[in-house]
Chain A
């Protein structure tokens, strides 16, 4: 290895580039690399196995939406959560961090409270459908993580949401 590095230095940029290219090629071995073009399979979704996080995202969906200023669950939200509860029952190895978000009228404090209440409402509903409370925890993010930032309903409807984020352990709080 040392001699390669010396040779690379001696031979100048061309060989160094060659070595870099080779290293990049090595890094892709074992993982399917798809081209950076629209319609190529998204990484991790080339083939989705049952019970995987990708399966949850594709066949159930992680997001529950809320109307302005509200943390009430409407019929659509309940249908999503019914599907989430059923999936979580079938795949008991997963934990769930419920991440609440807001983009609603009022102060940051008010958005913070609302985002936490949304996450708590989702957690309570999942618990009522049989998901063990020990598998779930919640956190409100106020307006910290907007899907899209604009003053119109186009954006705000996307932001008023709870994301049910799968976790491998109770300690994995992530970000």
Chain B
């Protein structure tokens, strides 16, 4: 969820990036092979992912699902970087995700009580303390808004947990531990999930599939 060094460098300019970081990182900053054109969406635009570059396991796919969670549930396996949208007949639509850098700090049940198109981003106070350069607010639809085209807000007992399922500007981060506690998806995938999950959908965040479903608060 936070602006990483990479994305800050994008705004600082590619020249600085070339000077300061190894070739692998600057290749991602240039990033052309990660993208495949642009999608128009409700008055704004996002960069389409070049899925030929993405490892097959992170692409959206229909899989068998034999765990006990019922249909109509979002299940997030934070260790293995998968988000499942559970269907009937022991199947699920599976998406690759990126999750919290410091290890995910909370687990358990939540509910999608709010959904937003082109959400504005307000970095939480503790994030701004760590990264004083962060803006107070990035408008929805802005090219540097790290949430991308959609956000699903996770609540518990009517309270905003402060965690969201959202898009990303960094498709290479899907499948790894990157953000600080949020769940990021390819922009195409978060748009897709937004359409498939009504407000009121239950979400379950697990350390990994098969782990106990305990409610653990962030510290």
Smallest CB separation, A46 vs chain B (Å)? 9
Are A39 and B71 neighbours in the complex by a CB distance under 8 Å?
no
Residues of B within 8 A of A58 (CB): 60, 62, 93
Residues of B within 8 A of A63 (CB): 196
- Taken together as a complex, chains A and B put the C-alpha atoms of A106 and B143 apart, in Å, by 47
Residues of A within 8 A of B65 (CB): 38
Q: Is A61 an interface residue (CB 8 A)?
A: yes
- Taken together as a complex, chains A and B put the C-alpha atoms of A153 and B209 apart, in Å, by 24
Which of B64, B82, B115, B195 sits near A61, CB closer than 8 Å? Answer: B195
Smallest CB separation, A4 vs chain B (Å)? 34
Smallest CB separation, B127 vs chain A (Å)? 29
Are B94 and A153 neighbours in the complex by a CB distance under 8 Å?
no
Residues of B within 8 A of A65 (CB): 198
Whether A36 contacts B195 in the complex (CB less than 8 A), given A45-B61, A154-B200, A154-B202, comes out as no
Whether A36 contacts B198 in the complex (CB less than 8 A), given A41-B61, A158-B71, comes out as no
Q: Which of A96-148 contact B (CB under 8 A)?
A: 147-148
**Closest B residue to A145 using CB positions:** B88
Residues of B within 8 A of A39 (CB): 63-64, 82, 94
Are A34 and B64 neighbours in the complex by a CB distance under 8 Å?
yes
Overall SS of chain A's interface: mixed
Which of B62, B70, B111, B201 sits near A45, CB closer than 8 Å? Answer: B62
Are A42 and B72 neighbours in the complex by a CB distance under 8 Å?
no
Residues of B within 8 A of A147 (CB): 71-72, 88
Are B195 and A54 neighbours in the complex by a CB distance under 8 Å?
no
Residues of B within 8 A of A165 (CB): none
Are B64 and A38 neighbours in the complex by a CB distance under 8 Å?
yes
**Closest B residue to A39 using CB positions:** B63
Smallest CB separation, A51 vs chain B (Å)? 17
**Closest A residue to B192 using CB positions:** A61
Are B88 and A41 neighbours in the complex by a CB distance under 8 Å?
no
Which of A36, A54, A156 sits near B66, CB closer than 8 Å? Answer: A36
Smallest CB separation, A161 vs chain B (Å)? 8
Smallest CB separation, B107 vs chain A (Å)? 18
Smallest CB separation, A62 vs chain B (Å)? 9
Q: Is B11 an interface residue (CB 8 A)?
A: no
- Taken together as a complex, chains A and B put the C-alpha atoms of A80 and B191 apart, in Å, by 11
Which of B60, B67, B72, B195 sits near A158, CB closer than 8 Å? Answer: B72
Residues of A within 8 A of B72 (CB): 147-148, 154-155, 157-158
Residues of A within 8 A of B200 (CB): 153-154, 156-157
Q: Is B91 an interface residue (CB 8 A)?
A: yes
Smallest CB separation, B52 vs chain A (Å)? 16
Residues of A within 8 A of B93 (CB): 58
Are A38 and B201 neighbours in the complex by a CB distance under 8 Å?
no
Residues of A within 8 A of B33 (CB): none
Q: Can you report 11 A-B residue pairs in the complex whose CB atoms are below 8 A from each other?
A: A36-B66, A37-B64, A38-B66, A38-B67, A40-B64, A57-B62, A58-B93, A147-B72, A153-B200, A154-B202, A157-B201
- 16 new A-B contacts at CB < 8 Å, known A42-B62, A147-B88: A36-B64, A38-B63, A39-B63, A39-B82, A41-B64, A42-B64, A45-B61, A57-B62, A58-B60, A58-B62, A58-B93, A61-B195, A154-B73, A154-B201, A157-B198, A158-B201
Q: Give chain A's interface residues, CB within 8 Å of chain B.
A: 34, 36-42, 45, 54, 57-58, 61, 63, 65, 76, 79-80, 83, 147-148, 153-158, 160-161
